[in-house]
Every structure is written in C-alpha cells, then in structure tokens.
Amino acid sequence: MLPGVRHLVRLLLLLAFAALVLASASACGGGGGLVKQYEYEEDVYLSLDGSATIYVNASIPALVNLRGLDLKTSPTALLDRAKIRELFSSSAAHVVRISSWRRLGRRFVQVRLAVDDITKLGSALPFAWSTYRIDHRDDQMIYRQVLGASAGTPVPDVSWKGSELVAFRLHLPSRVRYHNAGADNLKRGNILVWEQALADRQAGTSLEIEARIEQTSILYSTLMLFLVSGALAMTVLALIIWWVVRKGKASASPGPA
C-alpha cells in the first residue's frame, strides 16, 4: 500500500472512531453516559464584596418548566432575545450577553448577568426560587444559598429521558475553608459544584449550598507571595554581590612588608 493511501486510511479510521464516540455519548445521555447532559446550569463567579457575574445555561423548555418564564418552547420557534433580556433584567441583575445553540432538538440559551449584590438576587423572577445570604465571621466570608420549589409549569412534547441534570457552580475568589458540596468536589482549587437530577428539581427537592472562604483574594495572596519572593531574591543577590566585592578587595590588598 502506498504511503499516501495508508495515511488516508488511518485518517478515515480515526474519524470513524471519533464519530462512534460522539454517537455513544449522545445515546447515553446524562447520568451514566460518557458526557453528562445538563438541562439547566447556574455558574456564579462571586467576588469578596458580594457582587457576582452569573451565567445561566439552560434549554428553553427548562426555563419554562423550572422558572415559569413565558417563552415559546417549540423547537422551530425563533429565539426572542428581547423577551429573554426583559425577563432576566431587574434592579438586582443586568443582562450583559445572550447567546444560543441547539442540542437534542431543543433550543438552549446562555444568559450572562452582572450582579451588584447577590443577596438581592432572589427578588428577580428567574432566581426567585433561591434565597441568598452572606455573613462575615472572624476571618471568613460565609455564602449560603437555599433552593426551594420550582415553578412546575407544564411543557408539552419535550423528550426528557429522566437522566438529565441541573447544576449550580460556585467560582470563589479565595481559599475555601469549608463547603457542603462533597469531599471530592473541589475543582481546580476554588470551584464547587452541586448537582441534582432534573426530576428532583422539578419536584422541588430542597438544595442547600454553603461555602466558607477566606476574606483575602487568591490574586492578592499570589501577588504578595510574588513580591515577598522577589524581595528575598534581590536581598540574596545583593549579599552575593557584596561578598564578591569584599573578597575581591581583600585579594587585591598588599601583604605585610
């Protein structure tokens, strides 16, 4: 077999294998599959002053079913960005960006929001199922969020299989001292994830989120470590230069007559 033909055959086999893996992941769906299937996600990037950037990733049927938002759930319906912006905008949250895509025959959206004070976010309709609280104790900042019942709005003709998940993620600005997300949950040092089955969230199964963090940001700690390390390195360099110069002078001095 010619080298060029052999290379083409290998490439085709690789593409076929990749297609098989993707097909298997799609067939497996959520919980037990190769890829988890999230129907609703909230990612909260929290700051030490209580402000936050929030990303909501969800299917339109999930937003209607879980949050009671007045949106068209038909797969062929055009996305009404103005309506989504109106529903998510409030005195507690400002919509920064809206994007969308399709998956498994359903329209999904991502809404990015800027929040000045997360403890007031529960006054906004899309987040009214949660209560938010921040306390300061000793040298810790304590974040608590409790999720109650969903809206339970019926949505016809949605092909949910029962394995879909919802997720709530906290991206924290400093070292985590305590959390109730599970012992093996801490991701990359400061990311916590709480998951529920979509069916449990639809049933209104309560979910309590708590995390306690230091009141000094990771960025500040890293900067201080860098400055201290730099100062120490400069001190050592200065001592070496002083020692070399001193030794040179001693060598150059004339001996006794």
pLDDT interval class at 6 (50, 70, 90): low
pLDDT in tens, 146-155: 999 999 999 9
Mean pLDDT of the chain: 83
SS3 assignment for the chain:
CCHHHHHHHHHHHHHHHHHHHHHHHHHHCCCCCCCCCEEEEEEEEECCCCCEEEEEEEEHHHHHHHHCCCCCCCCCCCCCHHHHHHHHCCCCCEEEEEEEEEECCEEEEEEEEEECCHHHHHHCHHHCCEEEEEEEECCEEEEEEEECCCCCCCCCCCCCCCCCEEEEEEECCCCEEEECCCCCCCECCCEEEEEEEHHHHHCCCCEEEEEEEECCCHHHHHHHHHHHHHHHHHHHHHHHHHHHHHHHHHHHCCCCC
| 168 has a pLDDT exceeding 90 | yes
Q: Output the pTM of the full model.
A: 0.73
| 102 has a pLDDT exceeding 80 | yes
Give me the mean pLDDT over the 99-122 stretch.
96
Domain boundaries, the chain: 36-217
